[in-house]
Structure 1
Amino acid sequence: MFFMLGLCFGSWSSRVATIKDELSLSDGVLGSTLFAMSAGLVLSLPAAGWAIAKLGSRVIGVAAIIANAVLLALIPFAMDAYQLAILLFVFGFSYSAVNVSNNTQASLSEVISGKTKLPFFHGIWGLAGFVGAGIGTLMIGQDIALPLHFGVISFIALISALACWRFLHDKPSLEQSGKAFAIPDKSLINYGLITFCSMACEGIMYDWSVVYFQDVVSPERKFVGLGFTVFMGAMTIGRLALNRFVDRFGIRRTLQWSGILTLIGMAMTVLHPSLLSSIVGFCLVGFGIGAVIPLVASAAAKSSTMAPSSAIASVLTIGFLGLLIGPPLIGFLSDAFGLRYAFLLCVLMAFGIIYRASKISDQSP
């Protein structure tokens, strides 16, 4: 389920520049359409947390991933920015429902096994995003039409989701513990603010990294998707290796290093946007950003005041506000100052991660 979600999202992100060119969208208009997707991501979270607490993450997760796959196949048929915005809103809405469901399923695995597993599952999502980005880079280089590209990915996701059904956890007694709705405590709010900064930067990388390479780095066409692919690869490797790092250094120091790596990487590519420095910079950003979501989701699922799905949703709701603001803001800043300097927003978000991580107590999970 994590792999299929990452594959669909990675495939979409790898072809943003293609869609931008086919619909002749300016940076500002593209930013506005991306806002619709971010709005769907955010508005879905409270509803998804409530629905999962009532119906279970297995039912909501499978239904939502099927919807997400179908919507991916429909995106290439948008005729203008308005149709694209509507499709992206619903695409984002279904994505969040799958995301919360998957994290709830992963937290159930942790409870049942007594082992930390969320970083591994998020690593699988990153691996899928890397595969999706790699396929997208290949499709761009070979001039493969969007309907064929997205149609094949959608079909794979549909079949895989149906195959997953019988293997998913069905543990209503664990999923319905705690309140479906409650005010997050200070710890959850702090994790949410860290997620806000992380997801603002993450969303910018998903939606604008290919465009940044195309318009700012300006490599040969076959290398346009390379930066995004490297970013996704670094996220994957970082998440798969995260467990040992967290066990040794703790969540606070790990998140602080996440912010530092993101800061260094983004500063590199903005100050010197050559092909080599941008690839290295995007790689560092991937290593840095990759640690945040699995760590805060795992911590939120251990809340003593809210049901796991609702606690995860509350943290992600704050975080997804960053996803709501970040990508569209890049479009507006790009129109005003140029895309290169608009990416300094990620540097600001990296400082936010470092600062908020310092507020985590040593006793935090």
Structure 2
Amino acid sequence: MADTTIIQATNTRKTLRIAVGVLFFMAGLCFSSWASRIATVQQNLGLTDAALGAVLFSLPVGLMLSLPFSGWAITKVGSKKVLLGAILVYGICLISLGLAQTTLQLIVGLVCFGFSSNAVNISVNTQAVVAERMYERPIMASFHGLWSLAGFAGAGIGTIMIANHINPFHHFIIVLAILALGVTIASRYLYDDVGAPKIDSAVKIKLLERLRLMLPLLTLGSIAFCSMICEGAMFDWSVIYFKKVVDAPIALQGAGFTAFMLTMAGGRFVADLFAARFGLKRTLQVSGSLTVTGLLTAVIFPHLYTAMAGFMLVGVGVSSVVPMVYSAAGKSKTMSAGVALAAVSTIGFIGFLIGPPVIGFIAGLATLRASFVFIAIMGMSVVVLSTRAKL
């Protein structure tokens, strides 16, 4: 009887891990599909770099609008239902971006895209925390590795679509079909957390004490914020950088993004082992240093192969930061894992969405190469914050 219980528990955690992994992959595929076609959309609508930067601010607007809704919805109906609904809306919003014929239509589509993406981000990471607890060892990085692997796949598909002159709308319809299939398969195996224990609302904490308890989470959130500025900028601007600065041939304009996604995905599959051996602080310090080195390489030597090598270093650098920070937040002893994770992931994801439009503004005021120096400064901030933090 005991053996049967163990087998059932093992099967439950395996199926949950697979289901959560599938949805991480689908979310990454959805976002990277948009990222791979930004240059095409920019050209179709005749947007300058500065104008594109302004339009991309619609994504963090959608994120901010989604914050109160996502928290309330997860509390009321659970992360499973929020995740399944939000990820399908995510795919539908992707199609709306491919249909946009005017700047206003693109802005509205991006607001909705940002809204649904944040709901997906919080709910899927909440499911990942549950899976990690079942395994009683770090596995968060592997989930983010699947998200990155999907980004690599999305970049590759996008490169093929661009080379064959397939418009974004038809490209995104294919992605939605894949997304719907993945959600259908994974939906029955997710953890239903409706009615799960919540924070005891009867416990009253003074304001100063509450702020003190939040400081470690704010530090983790700040590290995630800086790293995800780098990550978001690479998603939205790497193709444009290779087009305008590196002057790569049309068929290779997505090569830098593909190289970045490849090393980021690979790095996340070994991040748990590296952190277990060298510790969280050392992992974050090395990650930030690699990000800075890669970005400066691409800026100082803006040629095809050197820029690709630089982008590969950036991919390795950012690969471990977010999963390590999320895992640390999930182990918070001052508040529930879900609340801590939502706080840290939200701060980080704001950086992910704010970074690209800021790059556009800097590029409009100076040059695109100068804007990549700003990203390098954010990578250095990861090193500084992790060195001074008590991790």
The bucket for the TM-score relative to the shorter chain is over 0.9
Amino acid at match of 1:186: L
Shift of 1:159: 2.3
2:312 aligned with 1:290: no
Which of 142, 165, 177 lines up with 1:143 in the alignment?
A: 165
Which residue in the other structure is 1:258 paired with?
287
Which of 119, 138, 142 lines up with 1:116 in the alignment?
A: 138
Map Cα deviations across residues 333-360 of structure 1 (whole Å, 9 max, x no partner). 1111111111111111011100111133
2:89 aligned with 1:67: yes
Deviates more, 1:265-274 or 1:308-317: 308-317
2:226 aligned with 1:197: yes
Amino acid at match of 2:382: I
Deviates more, 1:37-46 or 1:60-69: 37-46
Q: CA RMSD in A?
A: 1.7
Contact 1:175 1:309 in 2 (8 A): no
SS of aligned partner of 2:335: coil
Which residue in the other structure is 1:9 paired with?
31
Q: Which has the higher contact order (CA 8 A, sep 6+)?
A: 1
CA distance, structure 2, for counterparts of residue 40 and residue 109 of structure 1: 28
2:62 aligned with 1:33: no
Which residue in the other structure is 1:214 paired with?
243
Shift of 1:120: 0.5
Which of 77, 95, 100 lines up with 2:117 in the alignment?
A: 95
Which residue in the other structure is 2:75 paired with?
53
Which residue in the other structure is 1:358 paired with?
387
Q: What are the ranges of 5 or more consecutive residues in structure 1 without an aligned counterpart?
A: none
Map Cα deviations across residues 291-338 of structure 1 (whole Å, 9 max, x no partner). 111111111112233332321121122223323432111111111111
Deviates more, 1:118-127 or 1:141-150: 141-150
Shift of 1:170: 1.6
CA distance, structure 1, for counterparts of residue 344 and residue 146 of structure 2: 21
CA distance, structure 2, for counterparts of residue 46 and residue 214 of structure 1: 39
Amino acid at match of 1:356: L
Which residue in the other structure is 1:317 paired with?
346
CA distance, structure 2, for counterparts of residue 311 and residue 261 of structure 1: 28
Amino acid at match of 2:257: F
Map Cα deviations across residues 259-313 of structure 1 (whole Å, 9 max, x no partner). 0000000000001100011000000001101111111111111223333232112
CA distance, structure 1, for counterparts of residue 70 and residue 38 of structure 2: 26
CA distance, structure 1, for counterparts of residue 337 and residue 239 of structure 2: 35
The TM-score, its normalising length taken from structure 2, stands at: 0.89
Shift of 1:174: 4.8
Deviates more, 1:300-309 or 1:255-264: 300-309
Contact 2:256 2:311 in 1 (8 A): yes
Amino acid at match of 2:277: R
Contact 2:80 2:193 in 1 (8 A): no
Task: From the superposition, tell whether residues 331 and 269 of structure 1 become closer, same or farther in structure 2 (CA, over 3 Å).
Answer: same
Which residue in the other structure is 2:103 paired with?
81
Shift of 1:175: 6.3
Map Cα deviations across residues 174-210 of structure 1 (whole Å, 9 max, x no partner). 563467x976611100001101111111111111111
Map Cα deviations across residues 199-244 of structure 1 (whole Å, 9 max, x no partner). 1111111111111111111111100001011111111000011111
Which residue in the other structure is 2:3 paired with?
none
Contact 1:189 1:315 in 2 (8 A): yes
Shift of 1:57: 1.0
CA distance, structure 2, for counterparts of residue 333 and residue 2 of structure 1: 32
SS of aligned partner of 1:305: coil
Which residue in the other structure is 1:344 paired with?
373
SS of aligned partner of 1:185: helix
Matches within 5 A, 1:177-196: 177=199, 185-196=214-225
Contact 2:53 2:356 in 1 (8 A): yes
CA distance, structure 2, for counterparts of residue 260 and residue 11 of structure 1: 28
Q: What are the ranges of 5 or more consecutive residues in structure 2 without an aligned counterpart?
A: 1-22
Task: From the superposition, tell whether residues 342 and 107 of structure 1 become closer, same or farther in structure 2 (CA, over 3 Å).
Answer: same
Task: From the superposition, tell whether residues 277 and 216 of structure 1 become closer, same or farther in structure 2 (CA, over 3 Å).
Answer: same
Amino acid at match of 2:97: I
CA distance, structure 2, for counterparts of residue 352 and residue 37 of structure 1: 24
Shift of 1:61: 0.3
Larger Rg: 2
Shift of 1:173: 5.5
Which residue in the other structure is 2:5 paired with?
none
Contact 1:300 1:312 in 2 (8 A): yes
Contact 1:48 1:313 in 2 (8 A): no
CA distance, structure 1, for counterparts of residue 185 and residue 241 of structure 2: 38
Contact 2:298 2:306 in 1 (8 A): yes
Amino acid at match of 1:265: G
2:268 aligned with 1:268: no
SS of aligned partner of 1:343: helix
Aligned length, in residue pairs: 361
Matches within 5 A, 1:120-135: 120-135=142-157
Deviates more, 1:301-310 or 1:207-216: 301-310
Amino acid at match of 2:170: L
The TM-score, its normalising length taken from structure 1, stands at: 0.95
Which of 45, 60, 65 lines up with 1:23 in the alignment?
A: 45
Shift of 1:160: 1.5
